[in-house]
Amino acid sequence: MSHRPSGETLAAFAAGRLDEGLALVVAAHVEINPRTRQDLAELDALSGAFLDTIEPEPMGVDARSLSMALPHRVEDVPARPAAPPDAAGLAVLAPYALGRWQSVGRGVALRRVDVPNSEARVFMLRAQPGTRLPAHRHTGAEWTTIVAGAYQHEYGRYAAGDFDEADDRHAHTPVVDPREGCTCIVALTGTVRFEGMIGRLLQPFVRL
Amino acid sequence: MDANALIQSIAQSSDRQAFVKLFDHFAPRVKALLMRQGTPADLAEELAQETLLMVWRKAALFDPTRAGASTWIAAIARNLRIDAARREKRSRLPDVFDILQGEEPEQPDQVFDGSERDSRVRAALTSLSPDQLRVVQLAFMEGLSHQDVAKRLSIPLGTVKSRLRLAMARMRGSLEDLR
C-alpha cells in the first residue's frame, strides 16, 4: 500500500496555502511519486478551468501601451536545476541552502534544510539499516517524505516515495529497514518529546 | 482565440500583437481569480499585469502537451501570489513549483495530452450543481480546509464533506480513464 497526502493537504499545497517548510516536504513527495504528480496536474487543470469560466474584472491598464514597454527578449528554456550534491537527487531542494550532515546518535545523521519563511524545522535524516529510533510524540505536525530505503512503525511501512503525515495524535517508534536503511526529508512544527529513559537522556542532544 | 498559438507566436517571434490579445483575454480573468482567493483589488491588478508579463518572458517554456494555456497561466498567477504574500522574505516556493511543473511524465503509457486533460476537467465541472461547484472551488482552487469551507459558507462540516464526496464521484466518473 502506498501512503500519499490527503486530498485536503494536496489541495492546500496546490493553492499555495501551506507553510513553506511543510510544502517543501509535500513537493519532495510530488517529485518522486508519479501518481501524486498526476493528481497535482489535475488540481492545476481545475484552476485553469475556473480561470476560463470566471466573470472578468476590468483592468486599469491598457494592453497596447503596456506592450510597448515589454523587454525585447523572451527567456530561454532554463536547464532544470541540479539537485544539491548528496541531497539524494531531490531537485526541489535546489533553491534552499543545506547544512552539513551531523551525527545525532548511533546510526542517525541529520542535515538542516534552511527554509527562511517557515514555521517548521526542515531537515534530511539518514538512518543506518536496522536503526530503532526512540519512541516519541509531537505537539505539532511531523510530515515526512521517504526518499530512499524504508521504515516501519505502528501505522504501517513507509518506503521510497511515500508520505507520512503524523500529528499530535500519533506516538510512534520507527524502525528502519534492516537491509536498505532510510533517507527522508522531514518538516516539524511544535516540539518532539521522546519517551522512556533513553529518550529523555537523548533529548538535550537531539534538539529537533 | 487560440491561446496556445498566441503564446507560441510570442516564443518564436516576440509577437507584441499576440501579447495584446492574450492580455485582453486573460488579465481581467486572472485579476478576478486572485480577488476570489482573497487578494485585494489593487494587488490583484498588479499581479495580473505581472502574470501576463511573465507569460511574455516565459513563453518559450510553455509546453501545450503538459498543460493548456489557462492552466499554465493560472499556475504562474499562483506562484506570483505566493511570492507577493511573502515579499519581504522572498519565498523560494515559486521556484519549487516551477521545478515540479518541469517534470516529465515517467512511463510512456501514462503520457496523455495536457490540453486534453484540461478540457475533460472543464467538462466534468459542468456536471456539478452550483452548490457542489462552490465547495469544489473553495476546497481545491483556494485550498481551504474542509473546516474553513464550512465556516465560509455557514454550512455544517458534514455537509461540506458529503458535497465534496458527491462532486468528486461525479468528476472521477468523467476522468476515470485518465488515471
Distance CA(B146)–CA(B174), nearest Å, equals 24
The phi, psi pair for B8, rounded to 5°, reads -65, -30
| pLDDT tens track for A52-76 | 989 999 999 989 888 888 887 777 7
Mean pLDDT of chain A: 87
The answer to whether the Cβ–Cβ distance between B86 and A20 falls below 8 Å is yes
Q: What is the pLDDT of residue A206?
A: 52
DSSP secondary structure string for all residues of A59-124? PSS-HHHHHHT--SPPPPPPPPPPPPTTSTT-GGGTTSEE---EE-STTEEEEEEE-TT-SSEEEE
Q: What is the pLDDT of residue B176?
A: 58
- Checking B79-88 for CB contacts under 8 A at 24+ apart, the result is B79/A16, B80/B47, B80/B50, B80/B51, B80/B54, B81/A16, B81/B34, B81/B37, B81/B39, B81/B47, B82/A16, B84/B39, B84/B43, B84/B47, B85/A16, B86/A20, B86/A117
Residues of B in contact with A185 (CB under 8 A): none
Mutate to test the interface with B, among A8, A35, A39, A47 (most CBs of B within 10 A): A47
The helix/strand/coil state of A135 is: coil
Q: What is the pLDDT of residue A83?
A: 85
Distance CA(B178)–CA(B172), nearest Å, equals 9
| pLDDT tens track for B134-154 | 999 899 888 899 999 999 999
Mutate to test the interface with A, among B8, B96, B110, B142 (most CBs of A within 10 A): B96
Chain A closest-CA separation from residue B43 CA (Å): 12
The answer to whether the Cβ–Cβ distance between A13 and B96 falls below 8 Å is no
Handedness of CA A81, A86, A89, A93 (dihedral sign): negative
Q: What is the pLDDT of residue A69?
A: 82
Residue pair B94/B51 in contact (Cβ under 8 Å)? The answer is no
Residues of B in contact with A45 (CB under 8 A): 67-68, 71, 114, 117-118, 121
Query: What percentage of chain A exceeds 70 in pLDDT?
Result: 92
Q: What is the pLDDT of residue A135?
A: 78
User: Any bridge partners for residue A158, and if so which?
Assistant: A151
Q: What is the pLDDT of residue B88?
A: 67
| pLDDT tens track for A85-100 | 888 889 999 999 999 9
DSSP A196: H
Q: Which of B20, B68, B140 is nearest residue A46 as measured by Cβ atoms?
A: B140
Q: Which of A52, A53, A76 is nearest residue B60 as measured by Cβ atoms?
A: A76
| pLDDT tens track for A73-82 | 777 777 778 8
Cβ within 8 Å of residue A178, ≥6 positions away: A129, A130
Residues of A in contact with B53 (CB under 8 A): 66, 70
Residues of A in contact with B85 (CB under 8 A): 16
Cell (9 digits) for A171: 506516538
Q: What is the pLDDT of residue B48?
A: 97
Q: Which of A11, A27, A56 is nearest residue B96 as measured by Cβ atoms?
A: A27
- The vertex-A89 CA angle with B110 and A82, nearest 5°, equals 95
Under the banding of pLDDT at 50, 70 and 90, the label for residue A48 is very high
pLDDT tens across the length of chain B (179 residues): 899 999 999 999 999 999 999 999 999 999 999 999 889 999 999 999 999 999 999 999 998 888 899 999 999 999 999 999 877 677 899 999 988 987 665 554 555 677 778 888 888 888 899 999 999 989 988 889 999 999 999 999 999 999 998 888 887 766 655 44
pLDDT at A166 over 90: no
The larger pLDDT score, comparing residue A38 to residue A158, is at: A158
Q: What is the pLDDT of residue A67?
A: 87
The larger pLDDT score, comparing residue A185 to residue A174, is at: A185
The helix/strand/coil state of A14 is: helix
Mutate to test the interface with A, among B66, B104, B141 (most CBs of A within 10 A): B141
Single pTM value for the model = 0.90
The phi, psi pair for B147, rounded to 5°, reads -55, -45
Question: Nearest to residue A107, comparing CAs of A175, A185, A157?
Answer: A175
The answer to whether the Cβ–Cβ distance between B92 and A81 falls below 8 Å is no
| pLDDT tens track for B60-73 | 999 888 889 999 99
